[in-house]
């Protein structure tokens, strides 16, 4: 692509030196072409790209020539972020590609729409993220997509559900919010035997804890807002998988307009550079805190895969990555205090360092009462089906000193116990 002032070497028209001030203001000298490698990602804040000829425009738009036309379709900064996540999810160099979206829910929606239609069937865990549950139960159902919700840890339930024709089997590497561990290899086998796509939301894990493509998963989805960005300052989503599947996801993204903006892409890609360092800290602190509060008289249960008595502990050891001589079990703890829904909300309010708020995976420890916030779409029966106790509190462990967090948690629990 050349300078936008392409008419300068053509005959006719006003000579460059004789153009009016507004024309000269619009047609400024071209931006410099930098040959050296930039250590910082360039941010292409443009909605459109120019071409020398109509044929070049048509060829790039039609995919016959590489390039960029319109940021709703593709953008170099966004492309760089997506490629970086793909490299982290599967560094072996196979045909693994990615598509980035304006949010995690946009990525989930496009993935499901790409492989379902009227009369198709989805199998998903009853205890999945509330936004995903609502999308399946209330939105896609309006268009003839049926969903069977099952216990996410019950392979027999999954097997029974896929006996009818199934388009997509859905799972969460680490369940939001209960931290149940999905048996990815066996679920992949069940899905593929049924001729279904196996898609996994791996937001709670990140590529620094688990790389699901290595375990037979077809598509991996992240809310990049969380661990990938890591600083609570950008919103985005990403889908990773084999080229032919990602092509279908890209088509949905272009058709529905769910593109990630270039500034957000810059921030999210910048976060990837410290992802392993941050995840090691999140996971190490979460394990200490889970061990610290287990057995406290105010606590009915603590669910964290790093605890030896967690039902998914051995599976996590098989599937999750190790760093600094230990398995990374994730940075979220599911805490169920005695006393029901009101006790859960009270516990969250008693904490001083954790911020009561949405999202997770940032530098700050965040706390939320799930039944009234992230899973507000589920009534009591749906919560029970998903194994989500109405008293449960989701604690996303940040980067603060673990000693300070421990003191705060214990103080709040002591007050809760009365």
- Spatial separation of the C-alpha atoms in residues 377 and 383, rounded to whole Å: 9
Write down the catalytic residue from 129, 158, 227, 329.
129
- Spatial separation of the C-alpha atoms in residues 375 and 392, rounded to whole Å: 11
Q: Is 74 assigned a catalytic role?
A: no
Q: Where are the alpha helices (DSSP H) in 165-242?
A: 184-193
- Spatial separation of the C-alpha atoms in residues 144 and 162, rounded to whole Å: 17
Q: Is 72 assigned a catalytic role?
A: yes
Write down the catalytic residue from 183, 226, 303, 389.
226
* Residues whose CB is less than 8 angstroms from the CB of residue 188 and which lie 6 or more positions away in sequence, other chains included: 198, 215, 216, 217, 218
Write down the catalytic residue from 24, 45, 64, 72.
72
Torsion 183-185-187-190 (CA) sign: negative
Report the 10 Å Cβ neighbour count for 35: 5
Closest residue by Cα to residue 173 from 362, 43, 11, 316: 316
* Residues whose CB is less than 8 angstroms from the CB of residue 378 and which lie 6 or more positions away in sequence, other chains included: 130, 133, 371, 386, 388
Closest residue by Cα to residue 388 from 401, 370, 376: 370
Q: Is 129 assigned a catalytic role?
A: yes
Write down the catalytic residue from 201, 303, 389, 408.
201
Number of Cα atoms under 13 Å in the Cβ half of residue 223: 21
Residues 68, 42 contacting (CB under 8 angstroms): no
**DSSP labels, 222-273:** EETTTTTT-SSS---EEEEEEHHHHHHHHHHHHHHT-BPPHHHHHHHHHHHT
- Give catalytic residues, as residue numbers: 72, 129, 201, 226
């Amino acid at each position: 692509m050349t300078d936008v002032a392409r008419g300068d070497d053509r005959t006719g028209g006003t000579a460059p030196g004789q153009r009016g001030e507004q024309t000269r203001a619009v047609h400024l000298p071209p931006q410099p072409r930098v040959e050296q490698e930039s250590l910082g990602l360039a941010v292409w804040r443009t909605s459109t790209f120019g071409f020398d000829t109509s044929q070049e425009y048509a060829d790039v738009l039609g995919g016959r020539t590489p390039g960029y036309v319109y940021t709703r379709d593709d953008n170099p900064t966004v492309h760089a972020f997506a490629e970086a996540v793909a490299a982290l999810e599967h560094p072996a160099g196979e045909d693994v590609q990615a598509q980035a979206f304006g949010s995690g829910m946009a990525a989930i929606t496009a993935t499901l729409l790409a492989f379902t239609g009227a009369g198709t069937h989805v199998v998903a865990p009853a205890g999945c993220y509330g936004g995903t549950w609502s999308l399946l139960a209330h939105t896609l159902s309006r268009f003839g997509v049926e969903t069977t919700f099952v216990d996410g840890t019950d392979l027999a339930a999954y097997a029974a559900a896929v006996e009818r024709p199934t388009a997509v089997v859905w799972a969460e590497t680490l369940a939001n919010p209960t931290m149940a561990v999905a048996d990815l290899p066996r679920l992949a086998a069940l899905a593929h035997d049924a001729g279904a796509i196996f898609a996994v939301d791996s937001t709670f894990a990140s590529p620094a804890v688990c790389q699901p493509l290595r375990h037979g998963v077809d598509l991996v989805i992240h809310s990049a807002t969380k661990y990938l960005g890591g600083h609570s300052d950008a919103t985005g989503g990403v889908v990773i998988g084999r080229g032919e599947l990602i092509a279908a996801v890209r088509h949905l993204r272009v058709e529905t307009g769910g593109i990630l903006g270039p500034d957000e892409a810059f921030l999210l890609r910048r976060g990837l550079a410290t992802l392993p360092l941050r995840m090691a800290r999140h996971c190490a602190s979460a394990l200490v805190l889970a061990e610290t509060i287990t057995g406290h008289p105010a606590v009915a249960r603590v669910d964290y895969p790093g605890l030896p008595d967690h039902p998914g502990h051995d599976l996590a050891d098989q599937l999750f990555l190790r760093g600094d001589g230990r398995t990374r079990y994730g940075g979220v703890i599911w805490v169920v205090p005695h006393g029901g829904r009101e006790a859960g909300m009270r516990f969250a309010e008693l904490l001083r360092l954790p911020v009561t708020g949405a999202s997770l995976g940032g530098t700050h420890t965040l706390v939320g009462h799930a039944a009234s916030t992230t899973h507000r779409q589920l009534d009591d029966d749906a919560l029970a089906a998903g194994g989500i106790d109405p008293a449960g509190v989701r604690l996303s462990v940040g980067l603060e000193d673990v000693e300070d967090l421990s003191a705060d948690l214990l103080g709040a629990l002591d007050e809760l116990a009365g």
